[in-house]
Chain A
Amino acid sequence: MAELRAPAPPRRHLLSIADLERGDVERLLDTARSLAASLDREMKKLPTLRGRTVVNLFYESSTRTLASFELAAKRLSADTMSLRSAGSSVDKGESLKDTALTLAAYDPDVIVVRHPSIGAPQLVSRLTDAHVVNAGDGKHQHPTQALLDLYAMRESLGRLEGLQVAVVGDVLHSRVARSLVQALALVGAETVVVGPPTLVPRGIEALGCTVSHEIDAIAVADVVYVLRMQRERMGDSFVPSLREYTALYGITPARVRDGQVVMHPGPMNRGVEIDPRVADSGAALVTDQVRAGLVVRMAVLYDVLTVAPVEARERVEVG
């Protein structure tokens, strides 16, 4: 890319699960767990990131992700501010590049980016000196969602290695599915992706999963991970109707066996991809996932700022 700054020392970002190794995932999950324990024990606020600034730059609507990043930064005593595209200069046509450069002028330590286009967080990381955390880019990656899902699975089932996970639904349009499949492969779990042929992209096996178009494939899974079915997909005839989708792939009580847990990244379409009786049952880990989101995002902010590569660590100590 053109006209970039002189190369800065390497900084830790969290742009994609593909950049992580197994050890990184385990360290992040362990950090999240100890943060959860200390939040239980002590006050709700830790002084760890006092004096640091975390900026949330959100170009897409979001409830739980934005809320949990804001709260995570506050629980770690960081200063935080959130910028949404609506009502900002983005509305006036400002490019991502100019917005990033403007924010960079305030010297934020971390920029959390959500954007409808793949690669937007990478662009921000090249344009600024901040540590960048991807909070969802296009249909590409949503790495903190994958990490919080692993955290919730591990807390509930006690392990990740060897776990059987079925990811059900619209994989084609899902950054959650891409990140999760990669993350599960990293920690030694086995994943089958289940959905209609029109919504499972050709070549997805390369991420480390198998593919089935039969809902029966979920029977052997320890975890049934249900993806949101977006109504706007009807216009493009990916499926003929939500009714038929629900009949073929909806997660109903009859399709969930004893001992299975059911997860969903939210927001749920009750009665479409997930039967309300399943969503409200003891098998559902949905609220566990939301709670995990807070501690995992705290761990991510802590990790990118403190567990730096050697060169960056030297720079932090000097500065």
Chain B
Amino acid sequence: MLVALNGDSDSLTLEGRVLAAAQGIDEHLRITVTDGVISAIEPTAASALVIAPAFVDPHVHLRVPGREDEETIRSGTEAAAAGGYCAILAMPNTEPVVDSAAVLGALVEQARKEAVVPTGFMAAISKGQLGDELTEMAELAATGAAAFTDDGRPVVSAGLMRRALQYSAVTDLRLALHCEEPSLSRGGHAHEGTVAAELGIGPYPSTAESVMVERDLSLAGAEDRPLHLMHLSARESVAALDHALASGVRATGEVTPHHLVLTEEAVRSLDPNTKMNPPLRSGEDRQALRDGLRRGTISCVATDHAPHARHEKDVPFEEAPFGVTGLETSFAALYTHLVAPGIVSLETLLERMSAGPARVFDLVEPRIEVGARANLVALDLDAEWTVTEDGFRSLSANSWLLGETLRGRVVKTVADGRLVFEA
């Protein structure tokens, strides 16, 4: 279930090169939106903008409740609107954790008053995300949970993971998993590889992710239950996902812009904004993630937008929390670093940022056709802009792109029939 603040639907027209690969559209068109619904699509003269189905982000930390100094539903969804998103899913690792209908219900109510962009809330798999007892999944589903995840933490016990897979069948929601074997990642702050060895940073090996990915895929296959793998970082994990898909496991995967663009080399700067969980890995890992995204093994780009207060990141590398923001820079970062150099096609990127994640979480797929609710993004591919701290709508500025000049800019976002962003 997605919720947003109530408001009137808008009427507007957008003109540009319309790219909707899923519907086989690539031509210059004028799209007329009347009261939030696409009412006409007509040929038009060539223009500079690209119009595409708006983006869906399956992995956002809104920090509500508990850390409203870092992000609120309002600021986070305004950031999403500026990033071209028409739907986002928020993570439950808040203070308190979203593990009860009471907390979830309050969030849904708050989103009706604040959310500029339709927002869904994932609920925890285990109470308090402690990995001991399952949450009341049926009641959470009835209250509007979008999926279940203990994101930020793994489900350490294989037994509880198996029960979660089995029991979640009482809902039609899927589990989204943060795969990390804590006995392998403990004390780790950067990928176990050359850079961590040289700098003496606590190593976080690829196997800390991949052994958990393999375990969970194995359990999902045995239980014949669907599974979504969050923020994949290691090539071994991608290979495990490929293998599971080939043997019929109903698994999906996501990857973040920072894992697609950066490698462990970025950590040499000791900039806390290059510190994420899972960590930035080697060039071979990045290659496997890019290949997986192209093939569709990895069907979603997810920002893992993780706002942190400035004073928490203004510390030495190993003391800094994991995570970076991403909602407002995802398209431009990936257009600049993957599409412009010809590594991933624009069509593939747009699909993996929109229909891909919508399908995984059974959200309405943004489509460009007469009669559909308007979920559209207008992009200026030639625009260059520099990422600066004061340019963010997010309350936090812990971006790995600060100071970088990017190509490609979101100029308009229409989410569920409303114009939510205009540059």
Give the most central of B198, B200, B318: most A CB within 10 Å. B200
In the assembly, what is the distance between CA of A174 and CA of B197, in Å?
Answer: 11
In the assembly, what is the distance between CA of A204 and CA of B313, in Å?
Answer: 28
Residue A254 CB within 8 A of the other chain = no
Determine the chain A residues whose CB is within 8 A of the CB of B311 once the complex forms: 95, 97
Residue B370 CB within 8 A of the other chain = no
Whether B270 and A119, one on each chain, are in contact in the complex, defined by CB atoms closer than 8 angstroms, is yes
Whether B193 and A202, one on each chain, are in contact in the complex, defined by CB atoms closer than 8 angstroms, is yes
Determine the chain A residues whose CB is within 8 A of the CB of B310 once the complex forms: 2-3
Chain A residue at minimum C-beta to C-beta distance from B397:
A2
Whether A140 and B314, one on each chain, are in contact in the complex, defined by CB atoms closer than 8 angstroms, is no
Known: A115-B316, A203-B193. A178 touches B200 (CB 8 A): yes
Residue A201 CB within 8 A of the other chain = yes
In the assembly, what is the distance between CA of A96 and CA of B313, in Å?
Answer: 12
Interface size of B by Cβ–Cβ distance < 8 Å? 26
In the assembly, what is the distance between CA of A3 and CA of B194, in Å?
Answer: 31
- State the Cβ distance, A102 to closest chain B Cβ, in Å: 15
Whether A117 and B271, one on each chain, are in contact in the complex, defined by CB atoms closer than 8 angstroms, is no
In the assembly, what is the distance between CA of A193 and CA of B225, in Å?
Answer: 49
Residue A264 CB within 8 A of the other chain = no
Determine the chain B residues whose CB is within 8 A of the CB of A137 once the complex forms: 316
- State the Cβ distance, B284 to closest chain A Cβ, in Å: 13
Residue A308 CB within 8 A of the other chain = no
Known: A95-B311, A118-B318. A140 touches B197 (CB 8 A): no
Residue B304 CB within 8 A of the other chain = no
Determine the chain B residues whose CB is within 8 A of the CB of A123 once the complex forms: 315-316
Residue of B196, B270, B319, B389 near A2 (CB, 8 A) is B389
Determine the chain B residues whose CB is within 8 A of the CB of A117 once the complex forms: 315-319
- State the Cβ distance, A14 to closest chain B Cβ, in Å: 16
Whether B316 and A178, one on each chain, are in contact in the complex, defined by CB atoms closer than 8 angstroms, is no
Whether B317 and A201, one on each chain, are in contact in the complex, defined by CB atoms closer than 8 angstroms, is no
Whether A203 and B199, one on each chain, are in contact in the complex, defined by CB atoms closer than 8 angstroms, is no
Determine the chain A residues whose CB is within 8 A of the CB of B372 once the complex forms: none
Determine the chain A residues whose CB is within 8 A of the CB of B199 once the complex forms: 118, 140, 178
Known: A3-B310, A118-B270. A201 touches B315 (CB 8 A): no
Whether A118 and B200, one on each chain, are in contact in the complex, defined by CB atoms closer than 8 angstroms, is yes
- State the Cβ distance, A157 to closest chain B Cβ, in Å: 27
- State the Cβ distance, A134 to closest chain B Cβ, in Å: 12
Residue A120 CB within 8 A of the other chain = yes
Determine the chain A residues whose CB is within 8 A of the CB of B271 once the complex forms: 1
Whether A140 and B192, one on each chain, are in contact in the complex, defined by CB atoms closer than 8 angstroms, is no
Determine the chain B residues whose CB is within 8 A of the CB of A175 once the complex forms: 200
- State the Cβ distance, A122 to closest chain B Cβ, in Å: 6
Known: A139-B200, A201-B203, A203-B196. A122 touches B270 (CB 8 A): yes
Residue of B197, B200, B270, B319 near A202 (CB, 8 A) is B197
Residue B245 CB within 8 A of the other chain = no
Residue A138 CB within 8 A of the other chain = yes
Whether B316 and A120, one on each chain, are in contact in the complex, defined by CB atoms closer than 8 angstroms, is yes
Residue A242 CB within 8 A of the other chain = no
B392-408 CB contact bits vs A (8 Å, 1 = yes)?
A: 00000100000000000
Residue of B197, B270, B318 near A206 (CB, 8 A) is B197
Residue B381 CB within 8 A of the other chain = no
**8 A-B Cβ contacts within 8 A?**
A1-B271, A2-B389, A139-B200, A140-B201, A201-B196, A202-B192, A203-B197, A206-B194
